């Protein structure tokens, strides 16, 4: 009985003491971002980039890893830019994507830590004219400059930027994919020019389709080229979508096409161009130089899907 009496007395005593210290909640204190980022960096990044960020890791690579001490950032030096590169990787290089390995918080922490290696680095903010792709795709339309020395300026161009850091440059007149890029998106230099000027395309070229001047992929069964006409774009999904119609020489619409592009996750660095066709008259689809077509060349009446694979090159 004594234990019971003691407990009862204790409860009454505690309840009656208004000035007695109340139980305190134990706050969970997260480790500082720099410390958390450092741990993640040492576990996943230091083998290539070195513990001090000097690019001298323990792994032997075909091409030396970047030195962060020398501000060697591939696609911008902001935490946002470094996070996107860490998440998506760099196709054609030993740098893999970490989006399936690390959480968003871990990626941002390691990006903050990586940025600290360059002690004299100043924060670079986007100008008012730069378009930044964040959680959803963006489409920029306007004049696009010559993609190389042998190509011409296109008054009507279109660039789709996806959240994974890739962008896709199209010529609108005949709706042809010219190049696939990675990195920052577009600066609207044309907004400040009275007569209009080309978009400043900021991403680095990962794939150049037929040297920037590709042929048409679509023909009639007799081999006559079909004319493509832009219908619309859609940015409501994970990847930006472009839609266009195909017409024969008599201006009859023979097919409607919807396509989008995304990087693959296999051993090779590839971009997959997924094309869905709704065909009213049988047509043919031909692979462009340097690409691989998955599926039959002949496209029958009805709905069909064909995949085109583009091999990326290493980005310097």
Q: What digits encode the pLDDT tens for the residues 213-242?
A: 999 999 999 999 999 999 999 988 899 999
Assess whether 209 and 67 both reside in one domain: no
**pLDDT digits over 242-301, tens only?**
999 999 999 999 999 999 999 986 556 789 999 999 999 999 999 999 999 999 999 999
Asked whether residue 126 is domain-assigned, the answer is no
pLDDT at 5 exceeding the cut of 50: no
User: What per-residue confidence (pLDDT) applies to 167?
Assistant: 95
Mean pLDDT of 302-315: 85
User: What per-residue confidence (pLDDT) applies to 53?
Assistant: 87
178 close to 170: Cβ distance less than 8 angstroms: yes
**pLDDT digits over 183-197, tens only?**
988 887 655 544 457
Among 12-21, 107-116, 149-158, which stretch is predicted with the lowest mean pLDDT? 12-21
User: What per-residue confidence (pLDDT) applies to 189?
Assistant: 67
Assess whether 86 and 205 both reside in one domain: no
254 close to 248: Cβ distance less than 8 angstroms: yes
Assess whether 109 and 163 both reside in one domain: no
User: What per-residue confidence (pLDDT) applies to 55?
Assistant: 85
Domain hosting 231: range is 131-311
User: What per-residue confidence (pLDDT) applies to 236?
Assistant: 87
Least Cα distance to 279 among 316, 226, 216, 223 occurs for 226
User: What per-residue confidence (pLDDT) applies to 279?
Assistant: 96
Looking at the 3D structure of the chain, how many domains does it have?
A: 2
pTM for the structure as a whole: 0.63
The chain-wide mean pLDDT, for the chain, equals: 80
Q: Please count the other Cβ atoms lying within 10 Å of the Cβ belonging to residue 292.
A: 12
Q: Which residues sit opposite 220 in a β-bridge?
A: 283
Asked whether residue 120 is domain-assigned, the answer is no
Please, what is the angle between helix 104-115 and helix 33-44, to 10°? Answer: 90
Strand 166-171, strand 176-182: pairing = antiparallel
Assess whether 105 and 149 both reside in one domain: no
């Amino acid at each position: 009985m004594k234990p019971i009496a003691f407990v009862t007395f204790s409860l009454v005593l505690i309840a009656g003491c208004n000035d007695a210290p109340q139980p305190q909640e134990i706050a969970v204190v997260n480790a500082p971002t720099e410390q958390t980022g450092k741990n993640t960096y040492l576990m996943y990044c230091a083998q290539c980039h070195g513990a001090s960020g000097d690019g001298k890791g323990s792994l032997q690579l075909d091409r030396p890893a970047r030195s962060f001490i020398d501000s060697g950032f591939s696609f911008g030096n902001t935490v946002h830019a470094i996070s996107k590169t860490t998440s998506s990787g760099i196709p054609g290089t030993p740098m893999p994507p970490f989006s399936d390995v690390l959480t968003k918080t871990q990626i941002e922490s390691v990006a903050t830590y990586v940025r600290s290696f360059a002690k004299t680095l100043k924060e670079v903010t986007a100008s008012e004219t730069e378009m930044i792709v964040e959680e959803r795709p963006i489409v920029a339309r306007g004049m696009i400059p010559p993609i190389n020395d042998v190509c011409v300026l296109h008054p009507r161009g279109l660039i789709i930027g996806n959240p994974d850091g890739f962008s896709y440059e199209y010529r609108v007149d005949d709706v042809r994919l010219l190049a696939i890029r990675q990195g920052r998106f577009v600066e609207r230099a044309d907004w400040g020019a009275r007569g209009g000027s080309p978009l400043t395309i900021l991403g680095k070229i990962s794939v150049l389709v037929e040297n920037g001047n590709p042929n048409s992929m679509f023909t009639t069964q007799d081999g006559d080229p079909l004319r493509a006409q832009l219908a619309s774009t859609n940015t409501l999904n994970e990847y930006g979508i472009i839609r266009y119609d195909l017409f024969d020489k008599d201006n009859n619409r023979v097919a409607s096409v919807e396509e989008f592009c995304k990087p693959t996750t296999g051993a090779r660095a590839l971009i997959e161009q997924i094309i869905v066709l709704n065909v009213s008259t049988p047509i043919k689809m031909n692979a462009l130089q340097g690409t691989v077509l998955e599926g039959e060349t002949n496209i029958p009446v009805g709905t069909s899907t064909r995949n085109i694979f583009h091999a990326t090159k290493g980005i310097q």
